[in-house]
Chains A and B, each alone.
Chain A
Amino acid sequence: MHKRVVFNNRVLPYLLLAPQILVTLVFFFWPAGQAIYQSAYIPDPFGLSSQFVGFGNFEFLLSDRYYLASFKTTVIFSTLVTVLSMGAALWLAVMADRVIKGSSAYKTLLVWPYAVAPAVAGVLWLFMFNPNVGLVAWYLKAMGYDWNHVLNDGEAMGLVVVASAWRQISYNFLFFLAGLQAIPKSVIEAAAIDGASFARRFWTIVFPLLSPTTFFLLVVNIVYAFFETFGVIHTITAGGPQQATTILVYKVFSDGFVGQDLGSSAAQSVILLFVVGLLTVVQFRYIERKVHY
């Protein structure tokens, strides 16, 4: 009875794959290859001449303690953004899942921030927390707390983390909610009949069953924190104060497009490429084992 569709044409599968492969080649392999090639040179900005330096750009970077500090900043930033955006989204999804009346209104409202571009989100948060004219900063001052993220590195980090996570909460929320609704009600009801409390039901049944979603979001959120938060940082702190919020991808930008140092910028992209590759491998190899499908 089992019906199988078989394509006898040997070329067709390749043809069907071709657009995707072409896109990957043009938009990923080609630029990545260029970056690797350029990382071995120190060119002048106009491309009039360039000096071959081999691994010189990498040596320069890895002996630069500010570059190494940027690694640490990136780890702290990405961890905070991921934990905050996923934690908040999970909490909101669990709550929204329980709401019966007007749940679609809640859901719609919770998804809205995702439509806001990172740079715009950055400006919104900057307006609220501007030490001089910001509304929140003003209230904080009224309560006796002198908010000044322009000079205080902890406050600056906190602000870019919240602004970055805020937008991503919506995205995570959607996936968590879908994940929650896919969990069979009968399992939860059985546990409830056995007298398990809500918290216990959540940690022993819902959370493990949600693990594929959580794992997927973990990968997506780390990639987000590494790359897409650029706009938020550019608009709020521009990497400051001192270098408190200079994450790796921001340094790629500032060295390449502000400093016109394309060799160093290319070398940093290559390093970043390897870091994210490594991270993804680790995630799939070690964390995925704990995931129940």
Chain B
Amino acid sequence: MAYRKTLAGLVAATILAGSTGVSYAATEIQWWHAFTGRLGDLLAEQVEKFNASQSDYVVVASHKGNYSETLNAGIAAFRAGEQPHVLMVFEVGTATMMGAKGAIKPVYELMAETGKPFDQDAYLAAVAGYYTTTDGEMLSLPYNSSTPVLYVNRDALSAAGIDPDADLSTWEKVGEALDKLKASGSSCPLTTAWQSWVHLENLSAYHDVPFATKENGFAGVDTELAFNGPVQVAHIEAMGQWAKDGKFIYAGRRNEGGARFRSGECAFFTESSAGYAGVKAEAEFAFDIRPLPYWASVEAAPVNTIIGGASLWVMTGHEAAEYAGVAEFLNFLSSADIQAKWHQDTGYLPITHAAFDQTKAAGFYEANPGTDIAVIQMTGKAPTANSKGLRLGSFDQIRGIIDEELEAVWAGDKAAKDALDNAVERGNQLLRRFEQANR
């Protein structure tokens, strides 16, 4: 009996070993990312498709926490010599990754070395530009990119006696709507997510004014913050006044405002275009997506908005054969089918023209009005030096400083000009330290 059991076990073990034998032969590629929930599922689906599509490589995706935690995990792993092949890094970590010359393998270099087909012009300039050097060389592959848009609760507007189809393209017009909403008793006329990203970083790009010197940091690490100019001060002043009058409700530093919009309490909400899926799933009211408003009083506006999100960085220290697999995987992710599906499922921007055209041809934008607003807003005009993106060291922390100073404005403790001056001064100190560390 005992003998038979052992034999059966041996047979089972052999079968198991045989079935996994295929993946032993394949080269493993580690990908560390920051997605959970629905985004995590969609990501896993892409990986599965890639693994099923060929037999030379196996991509293993691991979740390492939120964006900051994933970046930290990657850094700690690099220090221990255990880094993954591909690391997802959010856009504010771009300068940190760029500074780490010995730790990263730029995407253009990877493609050249492995001889895989790679056409940079296939990517949307407004998206890829954020991760491209001033010489036009792509350093990391944009993965999930979004841009801020205005979400409108049509029912709330109707209730306040405002035509829901009214023109809301400028902050002046939105301001008038806020007056009416407040007068009719709305407890939350306007709220926002990611205040620094929407109301300073994108505001600056959209109105063609610098957020920082040296082309927003693209041209050198000796950059200085410059978001205390008249356009930004005027905007924050207006927002501060709205906060004081109860027309702008501040809900928190991240996307806490989302819950209040989706519950129907707030009439307007400035948030990433990637918030679309959540709003669509939860909102029990008619809603619209409109372009982010601009100030009509600023002549240059609107140019284009900039992106937020994450890109994929390839790390050094691996075998050539593995890099060939990484290159193939990145090309797979850039393919039109994968990108079009990702764009339609999540509300993130497509990274290639082909994916946008394919989505358009499939009639997705007619069926889901407003989903193309973000793409149009990003690509309507050629990016200027002020609207290409931001490349600042210690940027996560600088955003923290901006959050603190803006909170002082919303609470009525500080004037807009003082708060922004202060944020610039404090942020510059961090930039100087970053410059010192990356000499």
A residues apposed to B, CB below 8 Å: 42-51, 53, 60, 64, 66, 131-133, 150-153, 238-243, 254-255, 257-261, 263-264
Contact = CB atoms under 8 A, between A and B. Distances in A.
Given A132-B260, A133-B259, A254-B400, 19 more contacts: A44-B99, A45-B75, A46-B78, A46-B103, A50-B437, A60-B429, A60-B433, A150-B256, A151-B410, A238-B253, A240-B253, A240-B403, A240-B404, A240-B407, A242-B413, A243-B404, A255-B397, A260-B75, A261-B437
Contacts of A254: 397, 400
B102 A264 contact: no
Contact of A132 (B78, B103, B256, B397): B256
A66 B427 CA distance: 12
Given A60-B433, A241-B411, A259 B396 contact: yes
Contacts of A43: 437
Given A46-B79, A48-B103, A261 B404 contact: no
A122 to B, nearest CB: 15
Nearest to A259: B397
B146 interface: no
Contacts of B408: 242
B334 to A, nearest CB: 27
B100 interface: yes
B120 interface: no
B426 interface: yes
Classify the secondary structure of A's interface with B.
Answer: loop
B430 interface: yes
7 contacts: A42-B436, A51-B439, A132-B256, A150-B250, A153-B411, A242-B413, A261-B434
Contact of A151 (B101, B407, B434, B436): B407
B interface residue count range (under 10 / 10 to 19 / 20 to 34 / 35 or more): 35 or more
B96 interface: yes
Given A46-B79, A151-B411, A240-B407, A260 B96 contact: yes
A55 B437 CA distance: 15
Contacts of A50: 437
Interface string B323-349: 000000000000000000000000000
B411 A51 contact: no
Contact of A263 (B400, B407, B437): B437
Contacts of A45: 75, 96, 100, 437
A46 B75 contact: yes
Contacts of A238: 253
A259 B256 contact: no
Nearest to B99: A44
Nearest to B252: A150
Contacts of A260: 75, 96, 394, 396
B437 A151 contact: no
Given A66-B426, A151-B411, A47 B79 contact: yes
Interface in B392-439: 394, 396-397, 400, 403-405, 407-408, 410-411, 413, 426, 429-430, 433-434, 436-439
Contacts of B68: 257-258
B23 interface: no
**B429, B433, B436, B439: residue with the most chain A Cβ atoms closer than 10 Å:** B433
A64 B433 CA distance: 13
A190 to B, nearest CB: 58
A269 to B, nearest CB: 17
A151 B250 contact: yes
Nearest to A150: B252
Q: Which 8 A-B pairs have the closest CB atoms?
A: A259-B397, A46-B100, A241-B407, A46-B103, A242-B404, A44-B437, A151-B411, A48-B102
A259 B75 contact: no
Contacts of A53: 436
A179 B34 CA distance: 49
Nearest to A153: B411
A48 B101 CA distance: 9
Nearest to A60: B433
Nearest to B395: A259
Given A42-B437, A46-B78, A48-B101, A261 B403 contact: no
**B429, B430, B437: residue with the most chain A Cβ atoms closer than 10 Å:** B437
Given A44-B99, A240-B253, A260-B394, A132 B259 contact: yes
Contact of A261 (B251, B426, B430): B430
Given A45-B100, A240-B404, A241-B404, A261 B433 contact: yes
